[in-house]
A and B are shown apart, each in its own frame.
Chain A
Amino acid sequence: MPMLSFLIRRLLQSIPTVLAVVLLVFVLFSVVPGSIVSSMSDDADPQVELRLKQQLGLNDPVYVRFGTYIAKLATGDFGTSFRTREPVTAMIAKRAWPTLQLIFAAMAFSVVLGVPLGFIAALRPGGLVDSAAMVLAVSGLSIAKFWLGLVLMYLFALKLGWLPSFGYGDGGLKYLLLPAVTLGVSPMALFARTTRAAVLEIMTADFVRTARSKGMSETRVVKWHVMRNALVIILTTVGLQFGGLMGQAVVVEKLFSWPGIGSLLVDSVLQRDIPAVQGSILVVVLAFLAINLLIDVLYGVIDPRIRYA
């Protein structure tokens, strides 16, 4: 029961956030110059453009357009794309799986490498492993994704011939590896640094000192006290990074011709396809909120002292 009421409370708390995002995106794209009509071609027909504006409702006052949009949204209708004339929900549905594939693969890569690296580094602070891990972490955080992606393409596709340099193919691992690693390097570095800092802090905490003074072996201290407490901090970082990755995926998807929501968003923004932009951003925000809710639930599982307060 406390779990259910917690979930309901959190879901209700999310509603204002979602509404604020909807309003912000709508207002933003209502005031920025340029429109789908002028972006379609530089060789257009004013008569067709005029009718297109009428047909798309672009001549209506902003409040009318917002009212129509909200009314549709309430029924789960994200509207119709200005560009493709398809329902936005259908467009996003086609793109959602590739984006999720990419983000989960990048996250798996970054957690599997980053967390153990940070842990090992923290166990011997100042040592060779620690220094090497931190150099790697700082580099990983600093490298531009576009550049890293090109280097990986050059190395693993062109020079070694192990992997394809671009495309979605059949959606299999062969095509996923390079974009996932490109996207995952930065969070991997962040996880390494966060884990190291968290473990170092916990290692000097009173309860760890107490455990050691009670004669508990170092392995048990690390396993039962340090790891468990560090996990809460790591989990928070992972949750935040999920949201960040959805934004960063834009660059990676475009570079690797990966058919996700990111590349849909880029083209939609450039061509002022407002319904597609609004729909894509809304989906990203909803995914971000859902993942954070999941993380909150997991807190309680990892540390029973945190119980849906």
Chain B
Amino acid sequence: MSTITRIAREEWRLWLRSRVVVAAALIVAVLIAATSMLTAGRIADEQSQRTQQQIAAEQTFFAQPDRHPHRMVHYGHYAFRPPPPLAVFEPGVDAVTGQSIFLEGHRQNTAMFADTKAAADLGGFAALTPASLYQLLLPLLLIVLGHAMFLRERESGTLAVMLAQGQSGTKLALGKAAALLAVIAIFMVPLVFVAVYSISLGESALAAGSMVAGYFVYLCIWGAIVLAASILLKQRSVSLGALIFVWLFAALIVPRFAINASSAAIDAPGKIESDLVMLAEQRKLGDGHNAADPAFMQLQAEVLEQYEVETIEELPINWRGVVASYSEAELTDLLNSYAEERMGLEASQSRIFGLFGLASPTIAISSASRTLAGTDLATHHRFLRESEALRFGFVQALNEKHATELDYAADINRNADAEASRRARVNASAWQVLDEFRFEPDGADARLERALLSFVILLAWLTAAGGIVYGAARRVRL
């Protein structure tokens, strides 16, 4: 057995014989195991439910009877975002952004059904996720285990005896580092299990492996910080206090400050504020339900000229359907421009927040974690864009049916009597225009590419912390 391994083994012997350490480690282990199982079960349920709900929504849409096509535009449809497999470890922004959208004509609704109800049902316990435990709790455990690794030897005089046996400070530090590394390796086991489970749910091995590697690097950073404090500081209480402060700073203070700073740097109005501002511009576009709205006079002239007729009654197509289609396209352009602007601002805020990883490895790992899991803001934005494309697609397809399959005269007289109403319907087979929607996260390559900056920041942290440990270990004195 090498000297480094022997030093690590003896550190473990001390920990295993300390009730406090064993109790702390057990509490963390149980918490991780319980949280992983609860989260995995919950996410697996949600994944199954949302997929089923998506299918059910489509079947319900298809099963609608013969109707006026514009009634189907307002009947609407749902788009669901099932949690990706790695959400069993990192639910990410899922709980706050909402997971489904009601799609209907003339509107871009906000995503809804965030998970707060589920969290409340479990007395808030669901708010604890495996990812948050790895990001916040495990560094604390490393602090408890390692804050006195060197100081204990120095204070008890055993450091002198160890060095007097011919060992260098570097070897002692490597031995202590190996002991912490073994702790980290053991606590990686639950994450490895979760990663394997996510692969069984369809996740790519590259993304799952990168997640494991990212957290390993993150915990190694904390291990190095803890070891450096233990070597450089002179008293156990000072070391513990300093490390707790660093933990508070990195895990709680900087992230909160980063949120405020990114919000202050880029003022992004919420959806409701955007909608209010947008209303004025929306009115200028005209009311798509009123084909006689002056806003459509230009369109009317162009269409009449195109079909070489004098009146809308002479048109071979339904003028009201043409107006609905034109109005929807104009409105969607406006809605999209606001949505893109808002998402751009949110993405910029997210980038600024990510740069705070330079001040806190916890931010770097949380950014990388959400991105790799496909539960980040960028994935949510893609869901919004894809669900909007779905909405626009089926609304315009229905408007097309309105324009081409429904007689204008029957349409304008649809409220005359029951028979008139029946004549202003199209066959239910027309509802097949709805595309099947199955939201998938980006491929592993794309997610890894997005997480690259966070990984670079994490590696920079590890290099810096490791360098400090090495430099301090070379100068170990009694």
Task: Tell me whether A and B are bound partners.
Answer: no
